[in-house]
Each structure stands twice: as structure tokens, then as C-alpha cells.
Structure 1
């Protein structure tokens, strides 16, 4: 009798362990990944491309969501988000990296030539930030900026102070900034905006940076960051993101496709189909 009860008990434990293993396997098979992104053209484009590709790979379920950069860094540091494709380091996002960097991993560099600065249409007859005060009225005393959480917003406040500019920065959004630039160009008006590369506006409009002799605006890399433990949990994805690199012309092609599509995912899908060999090549080969 005792042996029979012991056998039943062993079978019950084995069944429970089997169910636990199956449950764990099910969780693993879901392969859910959360990628937040800032509302900047290159971040939107690269994140949607990653989703389009990874949703096709081995059952990955990629959730993406627009969030301000500060909360993105905080989420990565706490493990609430998995990957961030648009970290402007080491300079523009230095404040966020100082606060959260010891709890975040750098797993790739999507683009090496990230620049920021003050941008004007090419027909504007000045070439340097030092000349802005001579034409305050032509610019209505305004620099059209983006969100206050962006590093370029903080650097523009610094530029106003360093160059003693008689200007105020208008806080808006990336979309509103581009709209103001386009409206001014259509009317041949003078406008100065906070701009950066990579951005589709460089392919769309005839514009230029104002020279920055004081070096307020740095050159950065667009780095790919991940939460601690991501590489161990998702080694294939980590390898994919380490290979995720775009030359400037390809990045503009991607941004333009995403910007002009009714749905950003449709634009990213179009880019993927046109550049399938390149993007597929980022996925690690089977060993």
C-alpha cells in the first residue's frame, strides 16, 4: 500500500513538473519584447523597421510605444523596457546616461554621425550663430525647438546663453518644427529651427547648419541600448541589434518611406522589401 501511494505521489510530482516546464516553455515561446521610442523621425523609423522584421522571426511579439527620452532611460534601468534604438551618446543624452547608465547595456550603434545644431534655409544670408542677433526681427526673435526632454532643447538654451542671443526658444515637437520650417520655405521667409542629422528634412529641403564656433552642439552616435540581462535572455536579438547599422543614405530612405506612409509600419515594410538582403543580413546565421 505504501509503495502504491509513493508511486502515485511520484507520478503527481512528475506531472506537476511537466506542467511547469510546459508553462515556462510557453512563456519563452511568446518572446515578448518592448521597444519604446522618442517622437523623432529617425527613432520612429528605426523602431518600426525593427518591429516589421522581428515580428517575422521565430514568433517574436514586439510592442513599440512613443515615450519621452527621460522615461525611456528610466524604464530600461528598471527592466520595464527591453531595447532603445535612438540614444544620442556620449554628449546629447549625457545627463540621462549619468543617471541611469550603470544599469543599462550598450549593445549596438545604429548610426555614427549624429549631429545637432541651429538650422536655416539655404537662402538665409547668414552662416553663423554669431550673426543671429543682427537679424532678430527677420526671425521674429524665435528659435523653433522641439520637446523640452530632448538634449538639443537643453543645448539650445545653453547656446542662447553662450552667444548672448536675443532670442527665445519655442518649445514644440519634431512635427511642429518641420511644419514651421516648411511653411517658411514656401513663403521664402527667414526661420531658424533646432535640427539634427539624421533627419528626412535634409533630403527634402535645401537647408544648412549655422556654424557653431563655441562648440555648443556636439557630434554623437545613435546607440542601441538594452536592459541588463537582455543579451543573456535574447542572444539572437542582441546579435541582431549589434549588427543593426544604417549608412546616411539608407537611413534617409527609411525615414522618408515611414514619413510618407499612412501607417509607419507600412513604410517600414516597404523599406524592408526594398532592402531585404541588407536587413536579413543583420540576423545571426545559424551555427
Structure 2
């Protein structure tokens, strides 16, 4: 089920342009980007920069005005959305935009049923997703009777039940407290370790620094920065355009001359411990 053609990126974006017909605004202005299997990417940028517009091309929700998007070698312009959904799962920022069934169980099993997975696989995947997202015992509840945080976890569970190669989450920590946010991000790390490509759209640069292996910064419909967190955070002038500031711990450790600035407080403590032991 995993995409094993190492010679090809799992998602290839070539000179992607997208314009909204109603107002004539060009939201994406020629973005080229390759995403490989096993990447853990955080996409950063201001509101309206084009982050969500970009990733909605990965599963066919939007079609290019110009350029192309290939997913596992499939052209998204000619591949049915239902087929792309088996490979790319998308969790919206607002869970209510993708929840529509009469019960939690129906919601979680809808995707796998639509993909015509075997009945035993559907049940096993749904139960696993319920457990992971701590929704066991709520199978018969109406989704809109759940709290905002629970609905967010339900939306994530609907994607986990499909087990796609690429999992995209748009501001996934909304409505979650610190403990649940950490648990969710650890889960994404585990899924990434199993071979899933993880793409997180977030405004939380501290969270991006701690968990992402690669950061993509979108600015005014274009690709401003793309690289590992250390390289991106050293581009202070470019980041200033986006009104993004580097994590405090990174700025501090860089200022005091640490060769590899820390991306999180936990990393700083670990690096300091190793230094004392050396």
C-alpha cells in the first residue's frame, strides 16, 4: 500500500497556478515543489498566503489554473477525487466542514466503505481509529453532540481509518489542550515512522520547529522558503516579510553561539546534558 517508487516524489507540484474565477485573484503564482514519501512537513505563512489553497490541490479538491500536480504518478486533473482520497487524506481546519453522518461510527466508516474496502478491514480500521483518537464509547453519538475538540479528533479519525499514504492536517491542534496537542503530534510522528507522509498547516511556529523535519513557507501565493528548520529559521530577512518570528529557544541558542541552535526547550536541555557529560 505504501508508495515505493523512490525515484519519484509522492507529490510533485510543477509551476502550479490557481486563480479564483469570481474575483480574478491569482492565489497561487507558479509554485514548484516535490514531496517525498516519509516527509514530515509544516507549511507556514500568513492568513491568505495560499497554504490551504496549495494542499487542496493534492487530493483534487481544487484543479490547477496552470501547471500540474502529480500524486503517486497520477495527474490530479484527470484522476477522480475518490481515487486520490485513497492516497491523500485531508483534515479540514473546521471539522464541521467534513462531518455529515448521523453517528460517529457511520462517520468513521464512510470513507473506507466508499473505497470498497473489505468489511473486516473497515471494522478493524474504524476501531483502531476510535481508540487512537480516544473516541471509544461514543460510536452511537451524533457527531454534532460532541465538543469542538472531540469533533476535531473525529475528523482526524475519519482519515486514519482510510490509512492513506499522505495525511494533511489544516491547523490540527485547534480546540485541543496542551496534553492532547502533544499526544496528537506524537501520533503523527509514529505514523510518519511507519512511512506515512505528514503535512501540517499551522500558525504555531514553535510546534512546527519541534516536530517537522522540513518547513515550507508560503508568501503571497509563492514559495518563499523550503528546507530543514535550522536553514529556514536562519533566513531572518525573508521570514520578516511573513511576520513570522523564529522560536525563542532557537533565537536564544543561536545568539549565544551554539553551533546547532535548539528547536525546542527539550532539545536544548538534552544538548546541554550531553555537553556536561562530554
* TM superposition score category, shorter chain reference: under 0.3
Question: Higher relative CO (CA 8 A, sep ≥ 6), structure 1 or 2?
Answer: 1
Whose helix proportion is higher, 1 or 2?
1
TM-score when normalising by structure 1: 0.26
Q: TM-score, normalised by structure 2?
A: 0.27
